[in-house]
Amino acid sequence: MKENKLENFLADLENRGIISAVANKENFLALETSQQCLYLGIDCTADSLHIGHLFQLIQIIRFATIGFRIILILGGATSKIGDPSDKLKERPQLEVKEIENSYQQITTQLTNLLLTRKKMLNFIPLKKFYFEDLDLLSKIYQILQLDKQNPEKKYWQYIWPLSENNSSFQLFNNNDWLSKLSFVDFIDQVGRKITINYLLAKETIKQRVNSENGLSFMAFSYSLLQAYDFYYLYEKYNCHGQLGGSDQWGNITSGLKLIRSYYPENKCFVLTCNTLVDKEGKKISKTGNQKTIWLSLEKTSFQDLYDFFSNMSDEQVIIYVKQFTFLSDEQIEKLLVLNNPPKLRILQRILLELIFYLLHQQKGLDYLVKKS
């Protein structure tokens, strides 16, 4: 039964187009309840998270729904170096004050999104969207399994799948342990276990070493520091898994190697998420050419956030609804049938509702009501 639950869960992630790769899948499927702990690392290289981060945060919420403990690691230490993955040249060095400010801003965002107790709402924006077509609204309620007379009671199930007082999430700063680790101790504990040949075989490192700009020893060490994070969390918090973007594969598998060198019989695993792309197939990130969708209202207004999701094509919104919402395949298929003609834009509006609530709670939903 235990394996079936995890196997079905992983199959659902793959079906939604979320998972890029899995290392040690057999370990994941064999996890005991006490070992079901996953971590996600975020460096403090900007003073806000962006939509690519939100994509990954939605996935850790999914893990929490099946009982996983979730550890969020902010890179107070690793941000001083900068991840060389997917970069053709050295990242610009950030001032300590910049990193500290970014750490505070991101901590606030994560706290609001994941750690703050969610308040039950007494209205549903969909009522405002479709108040002129009560028959359509009733059919949407039925698909979403909302009570026609009192839909607020079950509204929670598709907008926020965890209980009001869920305590699955912990937030740490890797500076708390990396700053206490001397260089000699680090080389002894990590450098002794991972060879230069192993690191040079990593595609991202190989590209940088052979590039015109080369690769500094500092950037070369980033993968070792991230590996140590995983090793530290495994020892101290019984954390068995790591989630990251597909461009993180080299770094997070180094963590597996380090843990295995000390604990050969471990049950650790890693999963990487597919890259979030726009309608033209371009990677969505803060370094791309397209407009970045930040989670901070100071950087991306309600209007810009609204436009991004409401103007999404019918083809792309299907992908986003699968990857960003907690609706089942069956519910999504029924909504697609109901969305006739497509100008009803039911999926776009459900996506807007979930995103605005997760990011801005009541204030966000109030804005949607005004837009309707």
Q: The CATH number of the domain where 35 resides is what? A: 3.40.50.620
Active site residue 87: yes
Torsional class of 86: left (φ above 0), alpha (ψ -120 to 50), beta (otherwise): left
CA dist 236 and 174 (Å) reads: 13
Query: Strand, helix or coil at 192?
Result: coil
Active site residue 272: no
Active site residue 97: no
Alpha-helical (H) ranges within the chain are 2-15, 25-29, 51-65, 96-110, 125-129, 134-143, 152-159, 175-178, 183-186, 196-200, 203-209, 217-220, 222-237, 249-262, 302-310, 314-324, 329-338, 346-371
Active site residue 236: no
Is residue 286 included in any domain, yes or no?
A: no
Determine the pLDDT at residue 3.
47
Active site residue 107: no
Confidence of residue 70 (pLDDT cuts 50, 70, 90): very high
Instruction: Tell how strand 269-273 and strand 19-23 pair up.
Output: antiparallel
| Domain count along the chain | 2
Q: How many residues are listed for the chain in this entry?
A: 372
Find the mean pLDDT for residues 7-30: 96
Confidence of residue 39 (pLDDT cuts 50, 70, 90): very high
Is residue 359 included in any domain, yes or no?
A: yes
Active-site residue (options: 127, 128, 257, 286): 286
Do 97 and 174 have their domain in common?
yes
- 81-138 pLDDT per residue, tens: 876 665 555 566 778 899 999 999 999 999 999 988 777 666 677 777 788 888 998 8
Confidence of residue 343 (pLDDT cuts 50, 70, 90): confident
Active-site residue (options: 127, 154, 283, 371): 283
Tokens standing for 75?
């890179």
Do 245 and 108 have their domain in common?
yes
Is residue 22 included in any domain, yes or no?
A: yes
Determine the pLDDT at residue 278.
72
Is residue 290 included in any domain, yes or no?
A: no
Do 193 and 87 have their domain in common?
yes
Whether the CA torsion 195, 198, 200, 204 is positive or negative: it is: negative
Do 247 and 132 have their domain in common?
no
Do 126 and 238 have their domain in common?
no
- % of the chain at pLDDT higher than 70: 89
Active-site residue (options: 16, 43, 53, 59): 53
Do 27 and 140 have their domain in common?
no
Do 126 and 251 have their domain in common?
no
Tokens standing for 312?
């999404």
Active-site residue (options: 87, 208, 240, 345): 87
Determine the pLDDT at residue 247.
85
Is residue 82 included in any domain, yes or no?
A: yes
**Is the model's pLDDT at 289 over the cut of 60?**
no
Do 253 and 322 have their domain in common?
no
**Is the model's pLDDT at 243 over the cut of 60?**
yes
Determine the pLDDT at residue 369.
82
Is residue 96 included in any domain, yes or no?
A: yes
CA dist 324 and 212 (Å) reads: 39
Torsion angle in degrees (nearest 10) through CA of 57, 60, 64, 70: -100
Active site residue 226: yes
Determine the pLDDT at residue 1.
40
pTM score, whole prediction = 0.91
Do 30 and 13 have their domain in common?
yes
Determine the pLDDT at residue 287.
52
Active-site residue (options: 287, 290, 303, 362): 287
Write down which residue in 245, 278, 311 finishes a domain. Answer: 278
Active site residue 91: yes
Find the mean pLDDT for residues 286-313: 85
Contact 352/129 with Cβ under 8 angstroms? no
CA dist 174 and 184 (Å) reads: 18
Active-site residue (options: 35, 78, 226, 300): 226
Find the mean pLDDT for residues 159-185: 88
Do 60 and 200 have their domain in common?
yes
CA dist 342 and 3 (Å) reads: 40
- CATH number, domain of 327, equals 1.10.240
Contact 293/48 with Cβ under 8 angstroms? no
Range of the domain at 64: 1-118+165-278
Do 233 and 219 have their domain in common?
yes
**Is the model's pLDDT at 279 over the cut of 80?**
no
Do 32 and 109 have their domain in common?
yes
Is residue 295 included in any domain, yes or no?
A: no
Is residue 293 included in any domain, yes or no?
A: no
CA dist 270 and 256 (Å) reads: 8
CA dist 190 and 183 (Å) reads: 10
Determine the pLDDT at residue 84.
64
